[in-house]
Amino acid sequence: MSTKLNLSILSANSSSSKGRRFEEPSSEGRTNFQRDRDRILHSSAFRRLMHKTQVFINHEGDLFRTRLTHSLEVSQIARTCARRLYLNEDLTEALCLSHDLGHTPFGHAGQFALNRCMKKIDSISNGFEHNIQSLRIVDLLERKYAKFDGLNLSFETREGILKRCSKNAAKKLGDVAKRFIDGGNPSLEAQLANLADEVAYNHHDLDDGLRAGLLCLDDVLHIPTAMEQATIVDELYPDIEKNRRQSEIIRRMISAQVDDLVLTSISNLHNANLYSIEDVRTFSKPLVGFSSYMKENVSKLKKFLHDQMYKHPSVMEMTSVAEEVIENLFFKMINDSKEHYDVKRLRVIADTIAAMTDRHAASLHEKWFPKKVIWPSPVGFV
């Protein structure tokens, strides 16, 4: 049996989707997953990603990744893999474009601060988690369709958006979160989108860190896959200028990870001997993945980025101001509310803050607390 026949029966099929929360007639000329992708692309939350931080705050430079360009890069990498693995490209694209919709302003610093604030006010609250918020946006918070709140996406898209979830939170989310209680896997498309996210951010953060002058390429070359690609580039183009050498090495590192992911996943799927998407869901572990050699390299790259970039004093300085801004906005809204401990009110405040773009949050803070925080100088110049 050919690779195509073996693998295509394991992909998500739009016509056998588990359906939408509210029944709708099917769309003329589009599959369910194409329609999901289109609804995500037309949402307000998607457009806000343009002004939300990936690592560098919006004002730091025009060439750094934002959540929007990050999501597009994830989608491009995942679609390339999906085509090679005979998976559903439309579902893959929908998942990648929506995976970060729930992010707060100021990246992980914003999420960390908002989560801490929520738990401070209500210790039994589930706090704030951007994956759950992404689902909340597509299920409830987008208000543009006449017949329902949210985007009324297909089960498979909603299931894939929810990448992580505590057991406690899962109990309130129904079927879409069942695997976090009973165990099991999401679709192969969701598994792929998850790893494409990692491939994208590890490499574009590396690229942005080098551009900002926080990282040094010679240090990156201690990671074996980076050194392998540098050796190839240096042999092919011995006189290449510094910036082109850097870009060639990074793009080849991405290709090496993509190739490894595709070949390892094909091998995993063949060895698992599965016959349907239900077999994928109940299999003992995820099937889309890297070889052990590449996993080790990914860990080294992550550790390098963590130590040299995410914990860099300039980034940390910006992070701590961002956290202070989110905390100040949160407690101002709490104090202005007469229903301090009402759980619903708390969630509305979290929704409001999470929806803000970086510049909206910064300008509201400036209005409410003039001169209270001083943003550090931008870390990089482009």
Enumerate binding residues for Mg ion (CB under 5 A).
Answer: 100, 197
Query: 101 vs 266, which CB is nearer to Mg ion?
Result: 101
Q: DSSP assignment of 306-340, as one string?
A: IIIIIT-HHHHHHHHHHHHHHHHHHHHHHHH-S-T
The CB-of-97 to Mg ion minimum distance in angstroms stands at 11
Consecutive H or E run containing 3: helix 3-8
> With respect to Mg ion, which residue has the nearer C-beta, 42 or 164?
164
CB of 74 to Mg ion, least distance (A): 6
According to DSSP, residue 143 is labeled: -
Work out how close the CB of 313 gets to Mg ion at its nearest, in angstroms, rounded to a whole number: 25
Least distance (Å) from Mg ion to the CB of residue 134?
10
For Mg ion, the closer of residues 54 and 264 by Cβ is 54
Angle subtended at Cα 370 by Cα 367 and Cα 372, rounded to the nearest 5 degrees: 130
- Torsion region of 324: left, alpha or beta (phi above 0 gives left; psi -120 to 50 gives alpha): alpha
Give the C-alpha separation, 120 to 109, whole Å: 16
Q: Which is nearer to Mg ion, 207 or 248 (CB)?
A: 207
Of residues 176 and 196, the one with the C-beta less far from Mg ion: 196
Between 196 and 346, CB nearer to Mg ion: 196
We find the least distance from the C-beta atom of residue 137 to Mg ion, in angstroms, to be: 15
* Separation between Cα atoms, residue 172 and residue 174, nearest integer Å: 6
Minimum distance from CB of 206 to Mg ion (Å)? 15
b/e burial code for range 175-203 (CB count within 10 A of at least 16 → b): ebbebbeeeebbbbbbbbbbbbbbbbbbb
